Structure 1
Amino acid sequence: INVAYLARHDDAKMAAEQNETLSSVENGTLAPDTLYVVWGDGKLFETAVANKPADTFAGQVDGFSVLAPGWSGCTDSCGAIAADPTR
C-alpha cells in the first residue's frame, strides 16, 4: 500500500503511513480526496467492499480493484464494473 520510489526515506514514517492507510481501507474511513487501488490482496478488497461508505464506488477499472470515495459516476460507459458486496 502507498508505494513510492524515493532517494531518502524514513522507514518508521513509511510503515506508520502504510498502517494508517491499511486501517482506513479495512475500516471504511476513506479520505474523500483519495483514489484507492488495492493491489493483489483479494481479502483486503473484500473487507473494504463490506465496510465502505454508501457513497463509495468499489469495483474493477481496467483490471484494477478500486475504491473511489464519493464517486457515483459511470459504471457502464467508462468500463468500470461494480463489485458484488455479497461475495
Structure 2
Amino acid sequence: MTQRLGGWRVRFETPGGAVSFWNRYGSSVGGRIGQQVTVRYNPCDTTDAVIASGTHSSVSHVMLFLLIGAVFTAAGAAVTWFTHQ
C-alpha cells in the first residue's frame, strides 16, 4: 500500500495477474505502507475492489453515531425534565 491525500493505493494479485487501485474509503484503514490487507473484489471486474473492513468497519461508525445520538437524546430529555419541574 502507498498513501496519498484521500486514500491508499493498493496492489493485489489475482489468478489473472496484478491489480492496482486507489481505495476510495480514505484513511479509515489505519494501515502502514507495505502492510498486507484483505481485499474484496468483483471477480468479473477486478478494478471494482475495496479493502475489507476490519476494526474500522462501517458497523463501528454506525455504533459510534448511535452512542452519540443516545447521549444527546438523554441530555435533551434531562433538560426538558428539569425545566418543567
Structure 1 and Structure 2 fold alike (TM over 0.5): no
Which protein has the larger Cα radius of gyration, Structure 1 or Structure 2?
2
User: Which one has a larger percent helix, Structure 1 or Structure 2?
Assistant: 2
Pick the structure with more strand per residue: 2
The structure with higher relative contact order (CA 8 Å, sep 6+) is 1
